[in-house]
């Protein structure tokens, strides 16, 4: 039993229940998203033949995520979070249908394509804060990290299968089939989230309670060094080193532009990520999450600098696999820290900040990479960005002692089986006031 604990912790999925429904729907949506990512990337490149064009995908997605992600955080702290997830998943389904329709009509207008991408990103951003708060309410506190690790594994599995599958679909049936596959995946996700139980935020909209979110939610992040340090670490890593917008250019100048190779780049990131996820018990059962995240973010930057210098395909894929493994470890530790350190009344807004950083950061990083590559070269953009990211993470580690010393709270035993899943709360709930949340408790 002890040996098993060092590997994947599957307790959250055992016996079915709401978390299994949530995990199933999220996994389907993630697979469809990865297929669409490659399809949009390839279609924009086909229309523009410019790294600025592919970088613009990140710009429109990042801006939509920024605006609607922050709005979604307030919404998630004011109304039933299940309702938010259902409605925004429906919006994503409509956006996926629009992408399929424009491909079927042989659209040559890149602005229309980017607009549909922005609509999908807006719906995803609006619902993501509510979706992020669900595992900590559906699971006992000692299973939260394991649940988040399982969600990350499903994402990595989608990254592994999705891009390669997209490359094959595009090569054989072209863009409409790829977007149709995304639409089917999002439809499965919509059916899965219908089964979730009601989940109103604590202290908002309940009988005798508050009809609006408690004030001061945004200050929770600024007043707790562990929270802002963790988020800044992720922001530095992604904005300075995100490589995806450069994949088509690297593929063309080094590997003859084969769409199957383009899919392999994203799949290589997933190979490393899913390997790290399958060994996630070594991370989820350790309490020094802050230091682990800092180390992982530094490795991410150095690995991408190595990708920029790599010549042979095997070496390029190996560097991307190392980067994917480091990213998985960083995401798991960051997500666990954020959810366990935030009171439920503020969790939607804090989760929205995390989501904006976790999604808009990479998209803006892709735009940065495209701009730098257009002025210099793809290898220079990758190497300079990777080294800058590693240096920035080292600076955060030097100035933020609470993050370096952070240890997750000691887990409490699971609640009795007869207790409803939605009543599960974090192991040690911080004070409800943002002022008290600034104690920087390790």
pLDDT at 410: 63
Q: 251-292, pLDDT tens digit by residue? A: 888 887 777 787 788 778 878 888 887 877 666 666 677 888
* Alpha-carbon Rg for the chain in angstroms: 21
- Residue 52 in domain: yes
pLDDT at 414: 38
Looking at residue 106, which CATH number applies to its domain? 1.20.1250.20
Q: Give the range among 98-102, 302-306, 334-338, 372-376 with minimum mean pLDDT.
A: 334-338
pLDDT at 6: 54
Q: 70-84, pLDDT tens digit by residue? A: 888 888 888 888 999
pLDDT at 73: 83
- Residue 210 in domain: no
| pLDDT confidence tier of residue 49, bands split at 50, 70 and 90 | confident
- Residue 4 in domain: no
**Number of structural domains found in the chain:** 1
Give the residue-averaged pLDDT of 88-102: 95
Q: 103-158, pLDDT tens digit by residue? A: 999 998 999 999 999 999 999 989 988 898 888 888 877 778 788 888 888 887 88
- Position 346 pLDDT exceeds 60: yes
Q: 32-45, pLDDT tens digit by residue? A: 999 999 999 999 98
- Residue 351 in domain: yes
- Residue 2 in domain: no
Give the residue-averaged pLDDT of 4-15: 71
- Residue 418 in domain: yes
pLDDT at 334: 87
- Position 424 pLDDT exceeds 60: no
Give the residue-averaged pLDDT of 385-398: 94
Range of the domain at 264: 10-205+219-439
What's the whole-number average pLDDT of the chain? 81
- Position 5 pLDDT exceeds 60: no
| pLDDT confidence tier of residue 31, bands split at 50, 70 and 90 | very high
- Residue 357 in domain: yes
- Residue 1 in domain: no
Share of the chain above pLDDT 90, in %: 31
């Amino acid at each position: 039993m002890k040996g098993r604990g060092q590997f994947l912790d599957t307790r959250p999925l055992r016996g079915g229940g709401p978390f299994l429904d949530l995990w199933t729907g999220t996994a389907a949506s993630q697979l469809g998203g990865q297929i669409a990512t490659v399809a949009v990337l390839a279609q924009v490149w086909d229309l523009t033949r410019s790294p600025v064009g592919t970088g613009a995908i990140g710009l429109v997605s990042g801006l939509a995520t920024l605006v609607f992600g922050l709005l979604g955080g307030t919404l998630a702290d004011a109304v039933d979070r299940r309702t938010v997830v259902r409605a925004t998943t429906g919006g994503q389904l409509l956006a996926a249908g629009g992408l399929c329709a424009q491909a079927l009509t042989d659209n040559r207008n890149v602005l229309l394509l980017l607009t549909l991408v922005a609509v999908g990103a807006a719906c995803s951003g609006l619902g993501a804060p509510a979706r992020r708060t669900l595992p900590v309410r559906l699971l006992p506190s000692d299973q939260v990290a394991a649940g988040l690790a399982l969600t990350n594994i499903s994402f990595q599995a989608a990254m592994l299968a999705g891009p390669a599958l997209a490359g094959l679909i595009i090569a054989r049936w072209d863009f409409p089939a790829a977007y149709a596959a995304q639409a089917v995946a999002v439809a499965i996700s919509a059916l899965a989230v219908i089964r979730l139980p009601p989940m109103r935020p604590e202290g908002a909209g309940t009988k005798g309670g508050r009809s609006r979110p408690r004030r001061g939610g945004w200050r929770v992040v600024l007043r707790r060094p562990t929270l802002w340090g963790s988020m800044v670490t992720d922001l530095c890593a992604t904005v300075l080193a995100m490589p995806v917008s450069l994949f088509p250019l690297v593929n063309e100048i080094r590997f003859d532009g084969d769409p199957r190779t383009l899919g392999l780049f994203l799949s290589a990131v997933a190979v490393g990520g899913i390997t790290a996820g399958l060994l996630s018990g070594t991370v989820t059962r350790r309490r020094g999450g802050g230091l682990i995240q800092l180390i992982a973010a530094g490795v991410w930057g150095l690995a991408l600098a190595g990708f920029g210098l790599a010549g042979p395909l095997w070496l390029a894929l190996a560097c991307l696999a190392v980067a994917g493994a480091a990213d998985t470890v960083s995401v798991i530790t960051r997500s666990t820290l954020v959810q366990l350190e935030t009171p439920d009344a503020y969790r939607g807004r804090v989760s929205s900040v995390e989501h904006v950083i976790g999604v808009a950061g990479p998209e803006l990083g892709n735009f940065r990479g495209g701009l730098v590559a257009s002025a210099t070269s793809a290898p220079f953009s990758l190497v300079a960005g990777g080294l800058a990211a590693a240096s920035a993470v080292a600076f955060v580690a030097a100035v933020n002692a609470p993050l370096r010393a952070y240890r997750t709270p000691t887990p409490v035993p699971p609640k009795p089986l007869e207790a409803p899943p939605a009543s599960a709360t974090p192991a040690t709930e911080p004070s409800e006031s943002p002022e008290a949340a600034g104690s920087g408790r390790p």
